[in-house]
Amino acid sequence: MKMGTAFRSLPRPLFAFAIWIGMAVAVGSATASPTTASPATSSFSPALQAKVTQAQKLLAEWASNPIVVAAVKEANAKGGMFPGMSNAKWNDLEDAHPTVQLSLTSPVAKQLQKWEKSAQLDKLFLRDQKANLIAGTSKTLLFNNSSRAVSAHALQGQEWSDTDIKADPTTQVRSVQIGAPVRDGGKVIGFLHASVSAE
């Protein structure tokens, strides 16, 4: 028997009551408070999440290292470690160019390379208050990455990690991007940026 036929077979008072109940339920459903969306979370495997968490901890420790803080302060005081450099100009430089080599061979760059190797990261860069490159472990694709999420979060004083796995722009390895602010007396002056391989 169809539902409509079943309702119509009820005595008139019960039929009216059933209709009223149905309308009340419908109105209640329509006016119920919407559920709050849960915050975005990663869908990483436990092993990858452990790697990311450990790398974030190390990045935060390195960001307070005196050699890192000093390098960022020097770059900011100069208006950038490489004044006049832009993404377009940077992309035109070969890896052997003196400017690129300086970003790879400075004292802080050598320290970054040691850290990258010990933590098995895919890349590690130090950037100033404008997200310009100071030093790194390889030639970065972007001299300035202020348009990227890692910059926006780190320069606001937030330790950050992406919730997605993506091909890294510099290494092309499927990775998770992470960042940590560099502070001087509590003030954010730059940040460290790294990637953790998901492969």
175-194 per-position pLDDT tens digit: 999 999 999 999 999 999 99
* Over residues 58-76, mean pLDDT: 98
**What CATH number is associated with residue 113?**
3.30.450.20
Structure tokens at 76: 């900011």
For residue 139, pLDDT beyond 80: yes
Whether 160 maps to a domain, the answer reads yes
For residue 197, pLDDT beyond 50: yes
Whether 161 maps to a domain, the answer reads yes
- Greater confidence (32 vs 134) lies with 134
Whether 14 maps to a domain, the answer reads no
Q: Rounded to a whole number, what is the largest CA-CA distance in the chain?
A: 94
Amino acid 15: pLDDT: 41
* Over residues 148-169, mean pLDDT: 95
Whether 17 maps to a domain, the answer reads no
**pTM summary value:** 0.78
Residue 94 phi, psi (nearest 5): -75, 160
Which residues, at least 6 apart from 187, have a Cβ–Cβ distance to it below 8 Å? none
Q: Are strands 160-161 and 166-167 parallel, antiparallel or unpaired?
A: unpaired
Which is nearest to 149 in space by CA: 162, 133, 166, 140?
162
If one counts the domains in the chain, the total is: 1
